[in-house]
Amino acid sequence: MSLYRVHFTWNEKDITLRAKSLDLTHPYFVSIRDIILPEKNQLIIDPSEDEIIKTFGEADHLMIPFQKVFLIEELKEENIPLKSRIKPFSLVQEEESGPETLE
């Protein structure tokens, strides 16, 4: 199954949405269904993702004019992590024997 990443302009801002279903058969619009929104329960809040959730969070179906869309990517679902990439970090303390990582 494929996922789609649609890049478009909305209110003079560049927006990127991920979706499971895309229909390009309409003569004037890109039809976006099954939108995948960023998770709200994150430790770090990205203001741009928060604005996307507020603007498009309740929509089941979007019709974006073709003139506003500048890139559509089709991606394999298994290559796309749906959750954000949060990597743990470790502290490095130098001792006489050399650096050591603590977790």
| Statement: residue 53 has pLDDT above 90 | no
Say if CB 37 and CB 52 are below 8 A apart.
Answer: yes
| Statement: residue 98 has pLDDT above 90 | no
User: What's the confidence (pLDDT) of residue 21?
Assistant: 92
How confident is residue 102, by pLDDT bands cut at 50, 70 and 90?
A: low
How confident is residue 96, by pLDDT bands cut at 50, 70 and 90?
A: low
Q: Where are the domains of the chain?
A: 2-102
User: What's the confidence (pLDDT) of residue 80?
Assistant: 55
4-52 pLDDT, tens digit each: 999 999 989 999 999 999 999 999 999 999 998 877 666 677 777 888 8
Q: Report how far residue 61's alpha carbon sits from residue 87's, in angstroms, rounded to the nearest whole number.
A: 33
Start-to-end C-alpha separation, the chain: 38
User: What's the confidence (pLDDT) of residue 89?
Assistant: 55
